[in-house]
Amino acid sequence: MAQQSSSTRFEKDRKVFFLLIFGFFLYLAYKILEPFLNTIIISILLASLFYPYYTKLLVKVKGRKTIASLLTSFLMVFLIVVPAIVFTTALVEQGVKSVSEVQTWIKEGNLQKIEKTPTFSKIKELGKKHLRFLDIDKLDIQGTLLKATKNFGQYLLSKGAGLLSNVAGFVMRFFIMIFLLYYLLRDGPDMLTKIKYLSPLRPEQEDRIFERIKAVSKSALLGTFVTAIAQGVAGGIGLAISGIPGFFWGAMMGFASLIPVVGTAIIWIPACVYLLIVGKSNWAIFLAIWCIVIVGSLDNFLRPFLMKGEAQMSPFFVFLAIIGGIQVFGLIGIIYGPLILGICAVFIYLYQVEYAEMLGDED
């Protein structure tokens, strides 16, 4: 009996020792991969999004996985990476230029000229009537605008300089991402099978989690960003037609579309007010109609279409997930926030299924 007890204890100690060693090397592996963790996660999400294209190419190249994976990786580069680099570079350049033009316009005394117009006087009177908590007469509009544009310009320059100084790091991560994407597309199903084998969860639970990750990355993220891009492009066209720099402010409109309730209105309403003040009332009316009908319809029809299905998330929760994600993870939180919230929703669902009887008894 004592020998059996000693044997059981030895077996238990051996398992604990194995788990400690295993945990130690897992920690070391994590520290080695930590600098590339964001790249790995983005590669996994991209592989999930582009896998349907990979399967179609696989049929066309007669089952040659290497060729299909290479072609899909190149497709991703031309559809996402190249446009993103061009857009970011142009955005910083146009942003600095727009800020400089606004500062020059203010310093030339154009703001004082506008303040003397009847339209501005009417807007000022409306402000006094409805915004009584503000002493509008004492507001230093010119000083405030100059300070705001200066700070914004410095922010854009610092971000642009940061991007340029980190070119080597970006190039390295870019090639790692392409390398990972290639192998994830080619060997993804085998990797997934091994992960499922190691998981203690039931097969149906595993399938549910992986389906949710795919659904969130495809529907919620795609719906959010494609809608933002579409609204930014449409808004930029309307602004350019109205005589306002379309590229930069269209991009700002795209970012603003992520904000619930107010959305793109935070950009186009001030633009319309500006056009009214400078005497371009016809263009102000045109821009308002354009943004309400064209830009607004994209939010009302395109977003629900792209986010349809079981991965559909409330715009309010998407917004909270994006803002919270940015606060915790930085800019990459735009992706992590909705993804984590979506996976959390799956575990809540699995909990409801697993403990349905107990939850029902308590009711």
* 246 and 214 within one domain: yes
pLDDT confidence of 363, banded at 50, 70, 90?
Answer: very low
Structural domain range at position 298: 199-363
172 with 215, same domain: the answer is: no
**What's the whole-number mean pLDDT along residues 10-27?**
86
User: In 3D, which of 273, 319, 264, 272 has the Cα closest to residue 295?
Assistant: 264
- Asked whether 155 and 14 are in contact (CB, 8 A), the reply is no
With cut-offs at 50, 70 and 90, classify the pLDDT of residue 25. Answer: very high
3-state secondary structure of 133: coil
| pLDDT value at residue 201 | 78
Last residue of a domain, one of 187, 214, 245: 187
Q: Is residue 336 part of a domain?
A: yes
Q: What angle do CA 173, 177, 183 make, to 5 degrees?
A: 145
Asked whether the predicted pLDDT for residue 311 surpasses 60, the reply is no
Do the beta carbons of residue 123 and residue 273 sit within 8 Å?
Answer: yes
Q: Are residues 74 and 181 in the same domain?
A: yes
Domain final residue pick, 124, 152, 187: 187
Q: Whole-model pTM?
A: 0.65
In terms of domains, do 168 and 245 share one? Answer: no
In a domain, 212, yes or no: yes
Per-residue pLDDT at 227 exceeds 60? yes
Sign of the CA dihedral with 324 first, then 329, 335, and 341 last: negative
Please tell me whether residue 199 adopts helix, strand or coil conformation.
coil
Both 220 and 128 in one domain: the answer is: no
Domain membership of residue 138 (yes or no) is yes
Q: What confidence score (pLDDT) does residue 28 get?
A: 94
In a domain, 282, yes or no: yes
Residue 308 has pLDDT above 70, yes or no: no
Determine, yes or no, domain membership for 217.
yes
User: Same domain for 165 and 311?
Assistant: no
Residue 41's pLDDT is 84
Lowest-pLDDT choice from 14-18, 78-82, 192-196: 78-82
Same domain, 334 and 359: yes
Q: Please check whether residues 210 and 353 belong to one and the same domain.
A: yes
Which band of pLDDT confidence, cut at 50, 70 and 90, is reported for residue 149? low
pLDDT score of 27 more than 90 = yes
Per-residue pLDDT for 186 more than 50? yes
Find the range with the poorest average confidence among 58-62, 177-181, 306-310, 320-324: 306-310
Interatomic CA distance for residues 337 and 135, integer angstroms: 40
Contact 161, 96 (CB under 8 A): no
SS3 call for 173: helix
CB 349 within 8 A of CB 208: yes
Would you say residue 3 has pLDDT above 80? no
pLDDT at 121: 65
Q: Give how many domains the chain has, as a whole number.
A: 2
Q: What average pLDDT does the chain have?
A: 76
Q: How many C-beta atoms surround the C-beta of residue 96 within 10 A?
A: 17
Statement to judge: residues 217 and 174 lie in one domain: no
Contact predicate 311/212, CB 8 Å: yes
Domain-ending residue, one of 157, 187, 217: 187
Determine the pLDDT at residue 167: 62
- The per-residue pLDDT for range 58-95, each reduced to its tens digit, is 888 888 888 889 898 888 888 777 777 777 776 666 66
**Mean pLDDT on 7-19:** 78
Q: Are 218 and 126 members of one domain?
A: no
Same-domain status, 216 and 339: yes
What average pLDDT does range 133-161 have in this prediction?
56
Shared-domain flag, residues 237 and 358: yes
Find the range with the poorest average confidence among 32-36, 49-53, 114-118, 181-185. 114-118
**Which among 229, 181, 227 is positioned nearest to 75, based on CA atoms?**
181
Largest Cα separation within the chain, whole Å, is 101
